């Protein structure tokens, strides 16, 4: 049948209308989003103009800008903050394992500042401060209305100077006032020692730039002296550190697969997978990982990766639950740096870590940590022996 001119134009008109509709929708969407952004900027500009024109005293506009940034970050989470030059330098020193202070790691929980980790052999450790203590005041200044940066500035200081910490401790009827003398701390992030029957205990205090190298060198040296039959990777009270370091540590014991996934809110790189490379430094030998409520961030990445790949048994208590990534972003005009939460961690099986934590395979009550003997370490040794027995039974069953 011969088509009429009108019938041949209909598909073309439909296509044209479809294209025009798409273009129109795109224009409307762009204008809407641009309008929302412009409106937000207008609100900020109006407030600045009103302060500039009517505030009773002259005020430095850089100070206003800093206050505005602080206020915006304060609406986000406890980890997004504005760092001045000294705070940025201190953060960099800590990643390298050298800084001045008392040796405590603090997080904000339920509107209080809680000590989640202590550096071994630090002034705070010797003064009797404990994980779980809540910091009520520093040199008699209440902490209730302080942000994290203000608190850190009060606690840290020059070596040899003293600071009074007022602490609330569970099951104690009144606050404890503890005087601590600050010192220069140089922390080796990996301490490795041989225990019974070829078992090695490796304590990681923080994930710094050289942590994986320190651990690998120590394990290689011990294994060359006498074969390592099993490893206890002790991440108790490890507050985290560098994500790259955590990935490198987990990679020491994994042959393949995803170590951790980071997910952002938007953009082309909204999801990023970090994968293991070939080579296990202790092939076939069992690993037990010790975790507790002070194990956070990068420590949780390692624990979750080794658990999900069935490379290790986790022993202890549920970890802290800080599964977020902070990125340093310079604000060039103010010569300061924004530390901004930009992504969250997920385990190889896709399980969330942030505000959830990592559960152990072998649960130990926190109260057990107060015993004279390290029952947690004993439990980890028992877990290794159990894994060894399982290997022997499987091998004997194949004969």
Residues with a catalytic annotation lie at 297, 308, 322
Residues 6+ apart with CB under 8 A from 208: 94, 95, 96, 97, 187, 189, 241, 242, 245
The tokens describing 255, both together, are: 């042959």
What pairs with residue 343 in β-bridges? 325
The tokens describing 116, both together, are: 């989640």
Angle at which helices 5-54 and 61-74 cross, to 10°: 120
Parallel, antiparallel, or unpaired: how do β-strands 176-181 and 162-168 relate? antiparallel
- Give the ranges where 101-210 is alpha helix by DSSP (H): 123-126, 148-155
Query: CA-CA distance, 363 to 313, in Å (whole number)?
Result: 11
Report which DSSP code applies to 321.
-
CB atoms within 10 A of CB 117: 24
- Kindly report the CA angle at 131 between 161 and 146, in degrees rounded to 5? 60
**Cα-based distances in Å from 366 to 224, 237, 291, 316:** 36, 12, 11, 8
Residues 6+ apart with CB under 8 A from 58: none
Considering only CA atoms, which of 352, 245, 364 is closest in space to residue 304? 352
Considering only CA atoms, which of 245, 235, 348, 351 is closest in space to residue 300? 235
Q: Identify the three-state secondary structure at position 356.
A: coil
Element (H, E) at 260: strand 258-263
The tokens describing 274, both together, are: 């970090």
The CA R_g of the chain, rounded to the nearest whole Å, is 27
What pairs with residue 163 in β-bridges? 180
Query: CA-CA distance, 166 to 183, in Å (whole number)?
Result: 19
Longest Cα pair distance anywhere in the chain, in angstroms? Answer: 100
The tokens describing 61, both together, are: 């506009």
């Amino acid at each position: 049948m011969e088509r009429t001119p009108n019938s041949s134009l209909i598909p073309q008109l439909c296509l044209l209308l479809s294209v025009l509709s798409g273009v129109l929708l795109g224009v409307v969407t762009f204008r809407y989003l641009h309008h929302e952004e412009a409106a937000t900027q207008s609100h900020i500009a109006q407030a600045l103009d009103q302060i500039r024109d009517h505030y009773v005293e002259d005020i430095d506009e850089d100070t206003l800008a800093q206050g505005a940034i602080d206020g915006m970050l304060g609406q986000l989470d406890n980890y997004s903050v504005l760092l001045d030059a000294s705070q940025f330098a201190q953060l960099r020193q800590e990643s390298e394992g050298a800084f001045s202070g008392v040796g405590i790691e603090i997080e904000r929980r339920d509107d209080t500042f809680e000590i989640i980790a202590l550096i071994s052999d630090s002034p705070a450790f010797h003064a009797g401060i404990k994980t779980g203590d809540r910091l009520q005041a520093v040199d008699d200044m209440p902490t209730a209305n302080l942000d994290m940066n203000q608190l850190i500035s009060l606690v840290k200081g020059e070596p040899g100077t003293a600071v009074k910490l007022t602490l609330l401790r569970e099951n104690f009827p009144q606050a404890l006032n503890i005087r601590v003398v600050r010192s220069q701390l140089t922390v080796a992030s990996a301490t490795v020692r041989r225990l019974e029957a070829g078992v090695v205990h490796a304590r990681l205090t923080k994930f710094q730039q050289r942590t994986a190298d320190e651990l690998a060198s120590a394990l290689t040296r011990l294994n060359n002296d006498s074969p390592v039959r099993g490893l206890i990777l002790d991440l108790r009270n490890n507050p985290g550190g560098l994500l790259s370091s955590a990935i490198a540590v987990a990679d020491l014991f994994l042959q393949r697969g995803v170590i951790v996934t980071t997910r952002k809110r938007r953009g082309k790189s909204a999801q990023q997978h970090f994968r293991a490379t070939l080579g296990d430094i202790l092939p076939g030998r069992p690993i037990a990982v010790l975790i507790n409520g002070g194990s956070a961030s990068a420590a949780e990445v390692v624990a979750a990766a080794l658990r999900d790949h069935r490379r290790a048994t986790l022993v202890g208590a549920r970890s802290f639950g800080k599964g977020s990534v902070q990125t340093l972003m310079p604000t060039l005009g103010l010569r300061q740096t924004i530390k901004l939460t930009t992504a969250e961690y997920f385990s190889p099986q896709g399980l969330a870590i942030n505000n959830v934590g990592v559960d152990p395979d072998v649960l130990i009550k926190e109260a057990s940590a107060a015993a004279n003997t390290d029952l947690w370490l004993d439990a980890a040794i028992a877990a290794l022996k159990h894994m060894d027995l399982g290997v022997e039974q499987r091998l004997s069953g194949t004969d």
